[in-house]
Structure 1
Amino acid sequence: MPSLRDWAKALKRDTLALWLAARDHRTPLAAKLLAGGVAAYALSPIDLIPDFIPVLGLLDDLLVVPIGIWLVLKLIPAPLMEELRERAGKLAERPNSMVGLLLVLTIWFALAAAAGLYLIREV
C-alpha cells in the first residue's frame, strides 16, 4: 500500500505533467484546456474555498485536483501521458539552489530598502 508521501509525490508529478501536457502540441485541445486549468488551480495560491474555512478549505484541494487529474488522464493518450510523467519526474528531481534563493531574497530586500529610503527622503 503506497504511503501518503508517495501519493503526494505522485500528485506533484502529475500536476507538473498536466502543465507540460497543456503546452504539448500532441495533446488534444480539450485535454490541453482542462490540463491547463487543473494545473493552474493546483499551483495557484487562490482557491475556490479558502483554506482557513475548517474542513471545506482543505477538502476542495483534496477533491478538485485529483478529480481534475483523473479527467485529464481520460482525455490524453496513455503513451503521451507516460512520456509527460517521465519528463515531469525528471524536472521534479532537479536540485533546489539555496544560493539562488538567497540571491533572489537579497535582491528583493535591497530593492525594498532602496524604495523605502527614497520614500523617506521625498516625504
Structure 2
Amino acid sequence: MQLISKAKNWAKSLKRDIVALWLAARDPRVPWHAKAVAGAVAAYALSPIDLIPDFIPILGYLDDLLIVPLGIMLAIRLVPAEVMNELRTEATGRIERPSSRVGLIFILAVWLICIIFLALALRKLA
C-alpha cells in the first residue's frame, strides 16, 4: 500500500515538474541553453504522440520510463534552483495540463522523415 502511495506522489511531482519546465522555457531568468532543454523536454512529455509508439514491445515504454525522466532531471539541473522552486510552486497551482503543439509537430515531422526514408530505401530495392 505504501508503494502505491509513493508511486502516486512521484507521478504527481513528475507532472508538476513537466509543467514547471514548460514555464521555465518561457521565463526570462532562465539561461537560453536551459530554456532549450526545458522546452524540448516539456514539449515531448506533453505531446500526445510518442516518438516510439507504446505498442512496440519494450521499446514503446522506454521513452516513458527512461528518456522522459532523464530529460526532466537534466533540465531541472540546468534551471537555477531558486527559479525552479518558484516555477514548481506556480505549476502546482495549474491543475490543467497544457498541450504542446510544438511537440506534436516535432514528433509528426520525425515520423514523416522516417516514412520518407523508408519509402526511398524500398524504392531503391525494387
2:74 paired with 1:62: no
Distance 1:76 1:39 in 2: 13
2:31 paired with 1:25: no
What amino acid maps onto 2:73 in structure 1? W
Deviation digits for residues 24-52 of structure 1 (CA, Å, limit 9, x no counterpart): 11110001011010000001122221111
Deviation at 1:80, TM superposition (A): 0.5
Deviation at 1:54, TM superposition (A): 1.8
User: For residue 13 of structure 1, what is the aligned residue in structure 2?
Assistant: 16
User: For residue 51 of structure 1, what is the aligned residue in structure 2?
Assistant: 54
The alignment's TM-score, normalised by the length of structure 2, stands at 0.69
- Percent identity, please: 62
Distance 2:8 2:60 in 1: 21
Deviation at 1:79, TM superposition (A): 0.5
2:80 paired with 1:77: yes
Deviation digits for residues 7-40 of structure 1 (CA, Å, limit 9, x no counterpart): 1000000000000000111110001011010000
DSSP-derived class of the 1:72 partner:
helix
User: For residue 113 of structure 2, what is the aligned residue in structure 1?
Assistant: none
Structure 2 gap segments, 5+ residues each: 97-126
User: For residue 40 of structure 1, what is the aligned residue in structure 2?
Assistant: 43
Structure 1 gap segments, 5+ residues each: 95-123
Distance 1:15 1:22 in 2: 11
The alignment's TM-score, normalised by the length of structure 1, stands at 0.71
What amino acid maps onto 2:17 in structure 1? D
Deviation at 1:73, TM superposition (A): 1.4
Deviation at 1:61, TM superposition (A): 1.1
Distance 1:61 1:52 in 2: 12
Distance 1:80 1:60 in 2: 27
Q: Which structure is richer in relative contact order (CA contacts within 8 A, separation 6 or more)?
A: 2
